[in-house]
Structures are given as structure tokens and as C-alpha cells.
Amino acid sequence: MSEPLQLVIFGWGNPSRGDDGLGPALMARVEAWLEQHAQVGNIFLVEDFQLQIEHALDLAGRDMGLFIDASASCEPPFEFRRLAPASDSSFTTHELSPEAVLHVYAQVHHEAPPPCFLLSVRGEAFELGQPLSESSAKYLDQAWAFLSPLLHHISPEVWEEHLLVR
């Protein structure tokens, strides 16, 4: 029997900025799920306020990656898409896009990054000091209902069948 694929999940955002906390909120659900599924030893979690160049190193030795974040521009309730490396304008800032992280990985390792996906959950309100908005809390529930079955099937081919971009 082959070894299960290793998945690294990146969740980022600032919980003190309203819906910007959707990434960490979904990561908390993944962490609780992992506690209930102790036999799953192939999922690794990385949570931060924003993506940095160093996060490319967290992809090393992994078979797949998942990036989770709030988005003010995706269609409600969420989008799920495959990522490709790209040197975008975030490459020169203090915060990187998931595509730029994959680009850094390719530059550092001189090889293509592992297959990676982005789960963007629609955010409505990002003001400092605000709680999660009511609508985004519902979107969070829907994103979790979508993601939790995928955690049982860590496979790029299986995940490709569930791409959801409107």
C-alpha cells in the first residue's frame, strides 16, 4: 500500500479585521477535524496574518498544497480553484499572493511546486475591531461543508473534479 499524500494547508488573515479572519476560522475547523481523525498524519497546518516568501519553504517535501483566505472579490459563498505559479505585483511587496509563493518555490527549488489549490471564502466586512459578518459566517459554514469531505481524499485528481469558480 502506498503512503498517503502529504498536504500542507495555509490559512491566513487577521481575525481582528472582521471577515479577514475567515482563513483562521476555517483553519480552526480543520484543526478540530484533525483532532477527531488522529489517524490522519499527513496534513500539516500553517497559519499566519499574511503570506511571506518563507512560506514557499513549507511546500518542500509536500505532495499538495491548499491556500485558504477571505476574498472580497470572489462570488459568494466561496470559490475553489487550481493555482499556478506567477510572478505578480505582490512579489515585490511585504505580502505575497498564493501564486507568488508558488513562483518563489519554483525559483528556489528549480522545479515545479506541488499541485496547489485556493479556497477563497467571500468576505463582506473587513473593518478593524468588527466580528465576522453574519453573511460570511454562513459562507464559512458552506466552505467547511465543501472542504471536509476533500480532506478524506487528498489527491490532485479528486480535487480537480471539485473545482468551483464562478
Structure pTM?
Answer: 0.93
Q: What is the pLDDT along the chain (166 residues), one digit of tens a residue?
A: 567 889 999 999 999 999 999 999 999 999 999 998 866 668 999 999 999 999 999 999 999 999 999 999 999 999 999 999 998 665 444 578 999 999 999 999 999 999 999 999 999 999 999 999 999 999 999 999 999 999 989 999 999 999 987 6
Spatial distance between the Cα atoms of 137 and 131, rounded to a whole number of angstroms:
10
Among 12, 4, 11, 147, smallest CA distance to 64 is for 4
Q: Which class does domain 7-160 fall in?
A: alpha beta
Spatial distance between the Cα atoms of 75 and 70, rounded to a whole number of angstroms:
11
